[in-house]
Chains A and B, each alone.
Chain A
């Protein structure tokens, strides 16, 4: 698609550098457009799914079966007043939502959604995502501090400690993936999960503990239930964004949901073979072909897990979160990295058989 667009722009008589720039800009706009639409309807899906799990119908007033609800919500939030509390650090107060959302969008630059469908196919893709997502915590901390409110500050402190702790377990889980794949490039990570055994050729089987830990840490990183002590309505009202209203609050909200989609897409790419078909090697019909549809199905599956967790699990207590992160997850990941090292050295098939 990149070359196609570029040839069109050059055909219009634009210089090559401008054509490349325009192409990249268009691709970014496409990614962001799809992402924002997905975020909007993820909020609706969340309310519907949780509604049905609690034997309610969820939103059903705006549009057919409530399908226009996200648009109504967005309009409402846009026209609400943004209140800046007295004594708040005004500049930081307004920058904080941007800091919270920007990393979850920037990470999409290196994320492929199908074979070759990626904005920037860089070698150190996995490292880049790890580095960019580690920036997300600043939005929360800065918001909590700049609000000049005790509840917001408590929420920020909780969130910072939680994110920094779970990032370590998450990083170790990703180290396991990169050892198994022998590459940091997402395309190559997916390619190395290709095999004749369908969904059993994917990394989730040899890396099962890392897979579980990765996703649970992902839930903790995005401050979602049952790890949502940073918001903790019953304890600290709404945590770090208690002082935010209108669009400033909505940007935090968008960031959180964009992050959920990011973590789900990453889990699909790293452990469930991305765009590979679960029937690969078993059938040559269309079911066995890899396509973007599989990627979407896998990502949606993880997103559904997020909603499912929220509807079913009670909130963790703060000290238990810390215990789980430091005393359970990190030791397990370290042990399993050694195991993965052994598997790779021993070329245990079908995953690590010598190519």
Chain B
């Protein structure tokens, strides 16, 4: 077995194991941390496919930012596991049917026969090419309009999220750094000259 294969199976085993733990473990914080492990081993698999940009972006965005905020929330919430687990037996039959259907559909679509893995030949490796550079060139030339549209949609979503959660509270006290900087000595200090008292 080639070294690459050993690495592949190692990452895959970790991935499958941690994905399983994410949905079975009781503690939500542990689940979130196993999801991080999941992302990490996925990034390892993508590196094996020489998709270095995707792998690093996955770690940077999902592990470095999204999951941190996720953990943030999960830690603050005191999730009652007993309530969440209620009715497991009642929904087991329906859930099982849905799960089996989903797996079957996925196997049919992603499986080699239908996905066309055999129809397209494996592309010839074209030597030392920087995956990041090629992706950048493609995104900013051939796909520049879809790329810009996607980023504008994201921007709108960001502004909408801020607008939806923004509350103006006239009663809250806050500082205005601009006004603080503007302050001069005359606004705060008043020099008074007083006559000293007569000695008795």
Contact = CB atoms under 8 A, between A and B. Distances in A.
B124 to A, nearest CB: 20
Nearest to B75: A145
Given A123-B52, A145-B75, A157-B72, A134 B130 contact: no
A208 interface: no
8 contacts: A17-B3, A124-B56, A127-B52, A131-B56, A134-B60, A138-B68, A138-B71, A141-B71
B-side interface mostly: helix
A164 B56 contact: no
Interface residues of A, number: 27
A134 B177 contact: no
B36 interface: yes
Contacts of A248: none
A137 interface: yes
Contact of B130 (A17, A123, A138, A141): A123
Which of A89, A127, A167 has most chain B Cβ within 10 Å? A127
B14 interface: no
Contacts of A17: 3
B52 A141 contact: no
Interface string A104-134: 0000000000000000001110011011101
A89 B25 CA distance: 14
A132 B59 CA distance: 8
Contact of B59 (A122, A131, A142): A131
A61 interface: no
A131 B54 CA distance: 11
Given A134-B59, A138-B36, 8 more contacts: A17-B3, A89-B27, A122-B52, A127-B60, A134-B65, A135-B59, A135-B64, A157-B72
B45 to A, nearest CB: 15
Given A142-B33, A145-B75, A123 B68 contact: no
A240 to B, nearest CB: 12
A17 B3 CA distance: 10
A217 to B, nearest CB: 14
